[in-house]
Amino acid sequence: MFGFLTKSEKPATEARQSWSERLKGGLARTRAQIGGQLSAIFSRARIDDDLLEELETTLLMADVGVDATQFLLNELKAAVRRDKLETPVQLQRALAETLEALLSPLERPLDVSSHKPFIIMLAGVNGAGKTTSIGKLAHYFQAQGKSVLLAAGDTFRAAAREQLQAWGDRNGVAVISQESADPAAVVFDAIHAAKARGIDVVLADTAGRLPTQMHLMEEIAKVKRVIQKADPSGPHEVLLVLDANIGQNTIAQFQAFDKAIGVTGLIVTKLDGTAKGGVIAALARQQSAGQPVALRFIGVGEGMEDLQPFRAKEFVSALFEPS
């Protein structure tokens, strides 16, 4: 009433501020890629064709992609005419607003309250950060008061089971695994164990694979079919983990996995290790013809708290704020 935070509100606010700072730090390389250029571009005296051409080059260098870059430039040119923009500073503000509008449809936080257990199947290529993301998701859902169970469905990669078990131990959650077992059987057993134990969320790992490995893509499709046998309403979310370092290749990966298993949400990891953070705009634009798949989470570091729900306004602010 008087603007003071209650005891229960303070930690959430502090966590939000802390995440904003981590996000800004995590996007440092992307901001360095475009920030210096944008600063020079928008410090010019007037808006002209040379300025727009330099802006186009800068966006492409940040892996925004040809289509998204052209879309942003067309929107900016329209804004210049419509709103009678005269200064580069006004154009910069318009760019931030246009980028936020492009990314906003991706912002749909994951609600796991609709089913119990809520079954989340995770997929991605080796090295994308899939197993690590599962460990961080377990921590995230536990912080929301949810009970979690992990299914070690990656029986293809050596030490994958041990890696997931380590995350389970770190979070204090059970891991269902079998040595040399069929991945679908492991996930099937995990779902039944979750039902018996009253677990809220099941996180099912799957073997990392390239879209060109057809036998492995068929295997992951089998895992999804077996989940549907164990729970006809599941899986309730199919998350694809994408490494931001691969830039435009994320689009091809998304298309291949979506065709095989019907991706419902994305996790973009390793944004702290790349200057290609603009790829999120490319993903948004690539899906703009229909209902875009939600970008559920983004990762900006190795810490347990460094995977958080995607929020367009926060992301754009972190890109445009000075270092």
Q: Which of 106, 129, 162 is the last residue of a domain?
A: 106
Contacts by 89-96, CB closer than 8 A, 24 or more apart: 89/42, 91/42, 91/47, 91/51, 92/38, 92/42, 92/320, 95/55, 96/316, 96/317, 96/320
Residue 215 backbone phi and psi in degrees, to 5? -65, -35
Query: Are the CB atoms for 276 and 63 separated by under 8 Å?
Result: yes
> Into how many domains does the chain fold?
2
Same domain, 158 and 284: yes
Same domain, 223 and 273: yes
CA distance 186 to 204: 9
Give the type of residue at 196.
Answer: A
Sign of the Cα torsion 105, 106, 110, 115 reads positive
Same domain, 90 and 231: no
The DSSP-derived string for 98-119 is: HHHHHHGGG------TTSSSEE
What's the pLDDT tens digit per position in 108-138? Answer: 999 999 999 999 999 999 889 999 999 999 9
Residue 177 lies in a domain: yes
Closest CA to 122 of 314, 300, 278, 307: 307
pLDDT at 38 over 80: no
pLDDT of residue 14: 44
Same domain, 74 and 133: no
Same domain, 173 and 287: yes
Q: Per the structure block, which two tokens stand in for 20?
A: 């904003």
Same domain, 26 and 86: yes
CA distance 153 to 220: 10
Same domain, 169 and 235: yes
Same domain, 99 and 146: no
Same domain, 156 and 35: no
Same domain, 14 and 145: no
pLDDT at 11 over 50: no
pLDDT at 74 over 60: yes
What's the pLDDT tens digit per position in 201-260? Answer: 999 999 877 766 677 788 889 999 999 999 999 999 999 999 999 988 898 899 889 988
Residue 1 lies in a domain: no
Residue 301 lies in a domain: yes
Same domain, 93 and 129: no
Q: Which of 77, 106, 135 is the last residue of a domain?
A: 106
Segments forming the whole domain that contains residue 244: 118-312
Percent of the chain with pLDDT over 70: 90
What's the pLDDT tens digit per position in 248-302? Answer: 889 889 988 998 899 999 999 999 888 788 889 989 987 655 667 899 999 998 8
Q: Which of 81, 106, 131 is the last residue of a domain?
A: 106
Q: Choose the weakest-confidence range: 10-14, 71-75, 148-152.
A: 10-14
CATH number (domain holding residue 132) = 3.40.50.300
Q: What is the CA radius of gyration of the chain?
A: 21
What's the pLDDT tens digit per position in 89-100? Answer: 899 899 999 999
Residue 319 lies in a domain: no
* Mean pLDDT of all residues belonging to the chain: 86
Residue 211 lies in a domain: yes
CATH number (domain holding residue 102) = 1.20.120.140
Residue 321 lies in a domain: no
Residue 322 lies in a domain: no
Beta bridge partners of 174: 149
Same domain, 16 and 37: yes
CA distance 244 to 267: 10
Residue 323 lies in a domain: no
